[in-house]
Chain A
Amino acid sequence: MNESDLLKQIQEYEFAITDLSLYLDTHPNDEKALFLYRRYCIEAKDLKDKYQKMYGPLTINCPCNKWKWRDEPWPWEGGTN
């Protein structure tokens, strides 16, 4: 899986988490939604770890051995970070 595919997958999972969180705001006891929410959080975290190991930090909060942050494409260069 290349970088953009992985990034897209992360976006998809993060969107699903946000959408589920809106539902859970009004249905806090819905076990099925909670189950999916927890599962997607784990999936998203795994994907983000994988991405950051391979391609560099997604946010400034991710610790890296090397300072890669400024080497990523800037927003005006099409970067999303």
Chain B
Amino acid sequence: MVRRYNYYRDNSSQCNCNSNIENNNLMETTGNMMNSMNIISNCNQNNDYINCDECGFESGYSTFPENPIYGQSYVPIQQMNQTYKPQIGLQNGTIFPELVSQYRPGQSMAENQYIATANRNTNRNIQNSNIQSNIQTSNIQTNNISNDNRNSENNINN
């Protein structure tokens, strides 16, 4: 199965958080002064988010479990790192760079088509390999039958 999240990753090859993250004018910096203001940080003390990099997703990290169950939804855990300043946040609809995603008209249709095509190709490959293995099995069966026939002929002769 093709996974939705990977589709976006393949096509855009990066999430939006990397695009503006270099521009410090957009980023809230006061959160980084926490330690100097004697507020002890407890985040990232455990290993809950060990798979997260700066945008919350490690590259190649799948948001789906290995064997996804149909009809279940999966939400990756977000881990806050940098945030936009309030004025940039309102423009983007979120203060979290990793949540910024541009809407493209018809994007879900294109995505569905991609998934359908990719799954069709995968199924075709599976079917092809099944047909080949069936042919081999039937050859073996034919050999067995002819052997049986020979044996029965031998029996008659005896």
Contacts and interface: CB of A to CB of B under 8 A. Distances in A.
Interface of A: 8-9, 11-13, 15-16, 19-20, 23, 26-27, 29-33, 35-36, 39-40
Contact of B41 (A20, A32, A36, A40): A32
Given A16-B95, A23-B96, A32 B34 contact: yes
Contacts, number: 59
What range describes how many residues of B lie at the interface? 20 to 34
A31 B90 contact: no
Contact of B94 (A8, A12, A19, A30): A19
Name the prevailing secondary structure of the B interface residues. Answer: loop
B34 to A, nearest CB: 5
B40 A31 contact: yes
A36 B28 contact: yes
A66 to B, nearest CB: 31
Contact of A27 (B30, B80, B94, B95): B80
A32 B89 CA distance: 17
Given A11-B90, A30-B80, A36-B31, A19 B96 contact: yes
